[in-house]
Structures are given as C-alpha cells and as structure tokens.
Structure 1
Amino acid sequence: MADHAHVQHHHDGHAGTEVAPAQTGAIWRTFIILSVITAIEFTLAYLMHAGTLRTSIFVGMTLVKAFYIVGEFMHLKHEVKSLIWAITIPVLFVVWLLIALLTEGSSIFQLR
C-alpha cells in the first residue's frame, strides 16, 4: 500500500515573487508621494537662500519622509497606537536634543 501522507510539492524558483495589484498600487503611491516631497526639496534648494528657514524646512520635510517610510514599509501605521507613541516620542526628544545642541554649539563662534 502506498503512503499518501507525504505529498511532494513542486517549488519553482520564482514562486512567491509576484506582487498583488493592490500592493503594487500602494508602492507606486508611496513612490509618487516621496518623489513629490523630494522635488519640492530640490526646488527650495535652488530658489531659497541658505539660512535657518531653509534648513528648518529641509529637516521638517526629511522627518515627514522618514515617518512616512516607517509607516508604509515597516507597517507601523497598522500597529497599536501605544507602540507608535513609544517610538515617536523618543524620536521627537532626539530631534529636540539635536536642535538644542546645534543652537548652543553655534554660540561658541559668537564674540562676547
């Protein structure tokens, strides 16, 4: 009597590599959003003079892109709100620390 408990599966080298159309649309939407933000950044880089305002805009847009990437590709936007806050609040404190260090660090160059 033949043993039918063991079923042999054929594994193709390309199995599981196709992306569903809904996922492809989300990937294209993400690509377009990030491209638009980057195009705005490049436009501002050429149109605005160097200064605190331009740097602040770049930092803000970079943070927006970073949070969007984390939300989309790391699937954070689908997580529990407490986990999102547990990640977001320390990041905001690190950004505040960097701003404070840059602001206070530049005072060394000012004559008293």
Structure 2
Amino acid sequence: MAHEHKLEIFRGLVKFKSNTQKIWGVLAFLTLITAVEVVLGIIKPESLTDTYVLGMKSINWIFIILTLVKAYYIAWDFMHLRDEKSSLRRAIVWTPVFLVLYLVFILLVEADYIYEIYKDGFVSWNF
C-alpha cells in the first residue's frame, strides 16, 4: 500500500511543497554541517585543540558528534525511518550509535596505553 512521504524536516519545523524542494533542503542542511566540519578542520581554534575531554581533544569530539548527526539524519530522511514504528527506528539508529561510542572508548584507552608504554616503558620510539 503506497502512502505519501512527509514533506517536512526537523520534526515539522520546515515544510516543503514537493519532493524536489525537500531534497534541496536536506542537501543544504548536510552541506552546512560539512562546511562547519571543514572550517573547523582548517582553522583549528586553539580553544578546541588545547582542551581535552575524556582524554581526547574537544575538536575531535565535535567531529565525531557532527558525523553521527549527519549519519543519523541521512538514515532518518533517505531511509524513511521517520515513517517506521519507534521500536524499529531505535533498533536501527541507537545500535550503531552505541557501537561507535564503544569503539571510540576502546580506541582511546588502547591509544593511551600504547603511548604510555612508549613514553615510560623500556621500548623507545624507533620511528
């Protein structure tokens, strides 16, 4: 049974008249987030590169969060998750979010361990 897709984004804050307008609106939103990432990567503000949160620079956390926002929104809009039941949406969206956060945690812990071994251990830097 076919049904009309919702022509709105941001939970109804912005409404469009056609699918073409909606695609352009989503493109503009994703382009804006990407532009923020690129500008932050080029400028690298000292306030974000010198501040550490949970063992990682603040700018890296911003990059991870913005990337997760883009991935979530792509799944939400282009995979039409907004039209599905909430349990399916949660299963599809939250599982990768938790797995990415777990991967980031593991990488941070292991990277810090390797750094400490090379810094204070018997093995010296050979590269």
Runs of 4+ residues over 2 Å off in structure 1: none
Please give the alpha-carbon distance, in whole angstroms, between the structure 2 residues aligned to 1:100 and 1:33.
29
Are 1:89 and 2:85 an aligned pair? no
Unpaired runs of 5+ residues, structure 1, are: 1-20
Count how many residue pairs are aligned between Structure 1 and Structure 2: 92
Q: Which residue of structure 1 lines up, in the alignment, with residue 62 of structure 2?
A: 57
Unpaired runs of 5+ residues, structure 2, are: 1-16, 50-55, 122-127
Are 1:33 and 2:29 an aligned pair? yes
Please give the alpha-carbon distance, in whole angstroms, between the structure 2 residues aligned to 1:34 and 1:96.
22
TM-score scaled by length of structure 2: 0.66
Please give the alpha-carbon distance, in whole angstroms, between the structure 1 residues aligned to 2:101 and 2:34.
23
Please give the alpha-carbon distance, in whole angstroms, between the structure 2 residues aligned to 1:96 and 1:39.
23
1:50-73 deviations in Å (ceiling 9; x for gaps): 562111111110110011111111
For residue 18 of structure 2, give the secondary structure of its aligned residue in structure 1: helix
Identity over aligned pairs, percent? 35
Pick which of 49-58 and 25-34 moved more.
49-58
Answer 1 or 2: higher relative contact order, Cα 8 Å, separation at least 6.
Answer: 1
TM-score scaled by length of structure 1: 0.74
Question: Which protein has the larger Cα radius of gyration, Structure 1 or Structure 2?
Answer: 1
Q: Which residue of structure 2 lines up, in the alignment, with residue 100 of structure 1?
A: 105
Q: Which residue of structure 2 lines up, in the alignment, with residue 45 of structure 1?
A: 41
